A and B are shown apart, each in its own frame.
Chain A
Amino acid sequence: MKISGSYTLPVARERAYQLLQDPDILAQCMPGTDHLAKIGPDEYEMKMKMVISAVQGLFGGKIRVADQKPPEQFRLLVEGSGKVGFVKGEGVLTLVPSDASTSDSSTEVRYEGDVQVGGVIAGVGQRLLDTTAKLVIRKFFEKLTELADEASVPAVV
C-alpha cells in the first residue's frame, strides 16, 4: 500500500526536523504507544496498542531512521508484529519551509512511502487499511502540532 501526503507544522524547519527525531516526542505522538526505547544509534524499539473500534491489537516493533540530511530529509523504516498481523514499511519525509513572506514560520512535511500489512488484520481489514492509515497519520501530526506549540514557548525564552 502506497502512502503519501503532507502536513504543515507551525514551526521552523530546523525545529520540525528536531521534533521528528526526538524519541520522547514521537512516543507521545504515535497513537497507542506505551513504550519506546533507544536500542542503538538511530534505532528504537517500541510497543503499541492500537484500538480501532472493537478491534485491538498489541504490536511490538522497531523504528529506524536513515539517510539523514538535516534539516530537509530522512528515511524512516518501521516494522512491527503482533497476534493480529504484521506491518512493515519505509518512507521518506521531506521538510519544506513554507512561504517565507509570512511572519510565522511553518514547515510542510511531505511523506511518501510503502507499507505492507499482513496477517489476519490485512485479510479481514483490507477494505479499511487505507482509511485507518490516513487516520493514524493525521492523529500523529495533530498531536505533534500540539506538542510543538507547547515546546516552542520555552524555546523562545
Chain B
Amino acid sequence: MIPQNFEYSQPNNLNEALALLAGGNAKVLAGGMSLIPLMKLRLAAPEHLVDLSRVTDLKSIREEAGAIKIGAMTTHWEIESSPLLRSKCPLLAEAASNIGDVQVRNMGTIGGSIAHADPAADYPASLLALEAQVRISSAKRERTLGIADFLVEALATALEPGEIVREIIVPVEASGTGVSYQKMVQPASGFAIVGTAARVRKSGGKVSFVHVGITGLAGKAFRAAGVEKLLAGTAGSAADVQKAAAVAADGVDANTDLHASAAYRRQMAKVYTARALTQALARAS
C-alpha cells in the first residue's frame, strides 16, 4: 500500500536535524525497518519525516576513555562487522549478527532499534548486560541515560518530543570476560521469542562477575537479577548454571502470542539462559 502524504526533510547535519525536530511534530526516520512498513500499512501516518541518512556525524564507532561510542545511525551490519567491537565488545557484535536478515542488518540502525523499543528486539538484552548508556540530544539540551531507564515499557522510551538518540556507549570489555547471546528466533519476523545475553568473569575458580539480560519474555527486556545472584560466587559448574537459569522467568509476567504461549516462553527463557551462561563461561578465561 502507498503511505499517506507526508512532508520530508533530509538534514545534512545534527543541528539542522534537531532544529527540524524542535517543533515536536516530526518523526525521525533512521533505517526505516520498522517505520516504513507501518507507514505503508497506514498504521502510522506521521505528518513530517526527518530522514537522518545524511547526518554522517551519527555514523561512527570509536573508542574513547575505556568506552566505545556508537553513533545512532550505525547499522547492525556495521556493528556486527566492526573489528573494534568484535575485539573489545564482542557481545554487541554478536547481538547485531542475530538481528532479522541481511537486508534488515544493512539498513536498520542501533539508534532506530532502541528508539522503537520493540519488546522482542535483540539489542536490549546485550545493552542491559553491558550497562550501556544512551546519549540523547534535542535543540535545547543533552542528557545521558542508562539503558534500563531509557527503555520504559513495550514500544515506549524516555525520549521526549524533539529528542533523538545520539549515541550508545558501551564499556570496553575487561580481559577474561566471556560473553554470549543465545536467541530462540521466530523465523518469520526474525524477532526473539526469547533471547539471553550473558557476561561472566571468573577469578580463583569462582564466578566473580555475572550480568544477564533477557529480551522477548516480558513487556520489556530486563536484567535477570535472580539468575546473577545464584550464579555469582559458585564454581560455574553445569549444575550451578542449571540452578541459576531455573529462576530466569521467576516473577515475570510472560508474553503470549501465536508463536509461543507464556508457559512455553518461560520454559525457553530457562533453556536459553542456561545456554548463554554455559557458552559465556566456556569463553571466559
Tell me the A residues contacting B by CB distance below 8 Å: 1, 52-57, 83-84, 120-121, 124-132, 134-135
Q: What 1/0 mask marks residues of chain B from 246 to 269 whose CB sits below 8 Å from any chain A CB?
A: 000000010111110000000000
Interchain CB contact (< 8 A) of B154 among A56, A84, A121, A128: A128
Verify A131–B219 contact, CB threshold 8 A: yes
Docked Cα-Cα span, A135 to B156, in Å, equals 11
Q: At the interface, is chain A mostly helix, strand, loop or mixed?
A: helix
Verify B43–A126 contact, CB threshold 8 A: no
**Given A126-B258, A127-B189, also A52-B253 (CB < 8 A):** no
Q: At the interface, is chain B mostly helix, strand, loop or mixed?
A: loop
CB nearest to A5 among chain B residues:
B253
Verify A132–B154 contact, CB threshold 8 A: yes
Verify A54–B119 contact, CB threshold 8 A: no
Docked Cα-Cα span, A131 to B118, in Å, equals 10
Docked Cα-Cα span, A132 to B43, in Å, equals 15
Residues of A within 8 A of B44 (CB): 54-56
Is the CB of B27 closer than 8 A to any CB of chain A?
yes
In chain B, residues 106-143, which have Cβ atoms closer than 8 Å to a Cβ of chain A? 116-120
Kindly name the residue among A124, A127, A129, A132 whose own CB sees the greatest number of chain B CB atoms within 10 A.
A127
Is the CB of B35 closer than 8 A to any CB of chain A?
yes
Kindly name the residue among A55, A121, A129 whose own CB sees the greatest number of chain B CB atoms within 10 A.
A55
Verify B120–A55 contact, CB threshold 8 A: no
Verify A131–B154 contact, CB threshold 8 A: yes
Verify B155–A52 contact, CB threshold 8 A: yes
Interchain CB contact (< 8 A) of A84 among B43, B117, B191: B43
